[in-house]
A and B are shown apart, each in its own frame.
Chain A
Amino acid sequence: MTKYPKASVEEYGYKNQRFLRKAYQIFNKVLVVLVIFLMYLPVITIALQSFNSSSELTAFGSFTFKWYGEIFQHPMLSSAIQNTVIVSLSSTLLATVLGTFIAMGIYYLSPKAKQRILLLNNIPILNADIVTGISLMLVFSLLLPIFPYMFGLPTLILGHLFFTLPYVILSVLPKLGEVDSNLMDAAADLGLKPIKSLWKVMVPAVKAGIFSGMLLAFTMSVDDFVVSYYTTGNGYDNLSIWIYGSIGRKSLTPAVYAFSSLLTLGTAIVLLTVNLLSKRKVRNK
């Protein structure tokens, strides 16, 4: 009996890539961690700066909490914070409520009208901040003869509403598609008026979308600088505008680092709690 050479799997084209794959996985993990670290580097630096007793930015004196106490002592900073909170809260609230109902309106439009309004809806998202800011400023200046004291809080809220609404709409819209369409018919059969059935049936069904839209809207509104810069007036500074001015004057107080760190920490805690609570709810069901 002749002995044939035994064929190895390699001869069938199998390549042992176990080592390569492992190396690739490690490289990937390192890269992810590195990128996330880079994204957080400014945030970490801000936190570090907030504990620095020296107001010099180049040297670390000693560990201190004094800047945290000075957040509300600094008159300009505290009024800027207050203005930011007022503007962001009211614009987010308006955007969430209006955006939810507008999204429902859009959902029931004919496909063609739907695509047209969504194209328009993308303008505030994609438009350059500086163009949005200038555009709003131009429109508001046209309204100036009618409302002479408009620039300031009202224009800021309107401006923020303008660029936060699309985010809420885009968050709610896909959730509406997932709702069983029979629910609305059932509500109508049971004698509810359309608007009331929206409130009773649709709003609870798309709660998750509304919440994530609200979160996005608030984030965008708090972080915005350019649109606020162009739409404010009468010395009504929010945090971004005040920081921009202070950076220009080289007079940034470390108290603002303290405030920023507190805000980030607070947000992280709130978001994690919400996440934990919602998870528990699911498990209990």
Chain B
Amino acid sequence: MNKTIRKLAYPYYGWLYFLAIVPIAIMFVLIFFDIEGISFGEASFTFRNFGLFLEPSTIEAFLNSFLFATMATLVSAVLGYMVAYPVFRSRFRNKFIILTLFILPMWSNMLLRTEALGNIMERHNIYTDLLGLESGFNLRGSNLAVLIGLVITYLPFMILPIYTALEKIDPSLEEAALDLGVSEMRKFWKVVFPLSFKGVITGCIMVFLPCMSGFAIPEILGNGNIMLIGNIIEQSFRNMSYNLGSLLAITILFFIFGSLLIVNKVDKDGGTLI
């Protein structure tokens, strides 16, 4: 009987191969050709596209992406843990409400939230007007603005995996630790934190990757001054230079496959991914 049910999963293999693996192969081929769009009519084999890596703008974008993503990940990991842990410890045990609390902001459109955040980062904004303040300070367009935007937008993706991982810890382990005479502090560092670490890893990956590759947040909050790798990919595809865009996309894919392997290692059944 199980064999019949098993068949339900087979079409999904095809779907995933066709929509996830085939395009990567296409992009890989596009890297080596010198064409516009995907018309292979007058394609000629070339390594010229790799020259893109030597351009100062690309190098800067890579550095920027890496820096912003790392900073945003670190900040949200610390903040995320410091929020997830007290919420988990509180007597408030209704997981549904907690989930709703952290997911609800996502119900306003991401771009709209970013734009609203950008508006209140300007010198004159709706809050200074309401409170009658003379002027605030202008953050929009600065690095800090982009960092704040990234952290606020992606924090739920850090909190939820950590919370899920904390919830899965067997409470008797904590009791055992206390019975054996450790202090609350040592119990946390020796028992709770290591056991919830896979949630932290998953959260870090879920924050790091979109921060590195996104293009809307840096564009809206950075006023177009701050270029991340996502912005360059977006521009290349808009200018029909698919091969350059593919090259950068493939580069990002290396990071993603690295993360995929990490997730597969620390979390075999994907239990903390959602």
**A contact set with B: CB distance below 8 Å:** 28-29, 31-32, 35-36, 38-43, 45-46, 48-49, 52, 57-60, 101-102, 104-109, 115, 117-131, 134-136, 138-139, 141-142, 162, 165, 167, 170-171, 173-174, 184, 188, 194-195, 198, 212, 215-216, 219, 222-223, 225-226, 230, 239-240, 243-244, 247, 252, 256-257, 260-261, 263-264, 267-268, 271-272, 274-275, 278
**CB-CB < 8 A to B242: which residues of A?**
138
Q: Does B105 interact with chain A (Cβ within 8 Å)?
A: yes
Q: Which residue of A134, A170, A271 contacts B249 across the interface (Cβ within 8 Å)?
A: A134
A136 to B106, CA, bound (A): 24
Contact B113 A42 (CB under 8 A): yes
Number of interface residues of B (CB under 8 A): 94
Contact A109 B274 (CB under 8 A): no
Contact A130 B213 (CB under 8 A): yes
Of chain A, the residue at the smallest CB distance from B16 is A120
Min CB gap B256→A, angstroms:
6
Of chain B, the residue at the smallest CB distance from A274 is B96
Q: Which residue of A57, A124, A170 contacts B125 across the interface (Cβ within 8 Å)?
A: A57
Min CB gap A23→B, angstroms:
14
Contact A129 B107 (CB under 8 A): no
A124 to B108, CA, bound (A): 22
Min CB gap B240→A, angstroms:
12
Interface of B is mostly: helix
Of chain B, the residue at the smallest CB distance from A134 is B249
A125 to B209, CA, bound (A): 10
**CB-CB < 8 A to A173: which residues of B?**
269-270
* Apart from A49-B126, A122-B263, A244-B216, 20 more pairs, CB < 8 Å: A42-B114, A42-B117, A45-B116, A58-B125, A58-B129, A102-B8, A105-B5, A105-B6, A105-B7, A105-B8, A105-B12, A117-B13, A134-B237, A135-B19, A162-B15, A165-B15, A226-B214, A264-B104, A272-B100, A275-B97
Known contacts A104-B8, A105-B8, A219-B106; is-contact A45 B117 (Cβ 8 Å): yes
Min CB gap B274→A, angstroms:
5
Q: Does B194 interact with chain A (Cβ within 8 Å)?
A: no
Q: Which residue of A39, A46, A162 contacts B152 across the interface (Cβ within 8 Å)?
A: A39
Q: Does B120 interact with chain A (Cβ within 8 Å)?
A: yes
Q: Does B1 interact with chain A (Cβ within 8 Å)?
A: yes
Per the 8 Å Cβ criterion, residues 4-55 of B in contact with A are 4-13, 15-20, 22-24, 26-27, 38
Of chain A, the residue at the smallest CB distance from B94 is A275
Number of A-B contacts (CB under 8 A): 272
Contact B126 A130 (CB under 8 A): no
**CB-CB < 8 A to B17: which residues of A?**
120
Q: Does B169 interact with chain A (Cβ within 8 Å)?
A: no
**CB-CB < 8 A to A46: which residues of B?**
108, 112-113, 116
**CB-CB < 8 A to B130: which residues of A?**
48, 60
A125 to B215, CA, bound (A): 18
Contact A139 B22 (CB under 8 A): yes
In the complex, 12 of the A-B residue pairs with CB atoms within 8 angstroms, ordered by the A residue number, are: A43-B113, A49-B116, A49-B126, A123-B260, A126-B260, A136-B23, A138-B27, A219-B107, A226-B214, A226-B216, A247-B111, A257-B112
Min CB gap B248→A, angstroms:
9
Q: Does B2 interact with chain A (Cβ within 8 Å)?
A: yes
Known contacts A52-B126, A128-B209, A130-B214; is-contact A135 B274 (Cβ 8 Å): no
Contact B268 A115 (CB under 8 A): yes
Contact A127 B110 (CB under 8 A): no
Chain B 211-244 near chain A by CB (<8 Å), digits 1 or 0: 0111110001000000000100110010000100
Contact A35 B79 (CB under 8 A): yes
Min CB gap A113→B, angstroms:
8
A274 to B96, CA, bound (A): 10
Min CB gap A147→B, angstroms:
14
**CB-CB < 8 A to A264: which residues of B?**
104-105, 107-108
Q: Does B199 interact with chain A (Cβ within 8 Å)?
A: no
Min CB gap B65→A, angstroms:
11
Min CB gap A67→B, angstroms:
13
**CB-CB < 8 A to A28: which residues of B?**
82, 86
Per the 8 Å Cβ criterion, residues 61-118 of B in contact with A are 79, 82-83, 86-87, 94, 96-97, 99-117
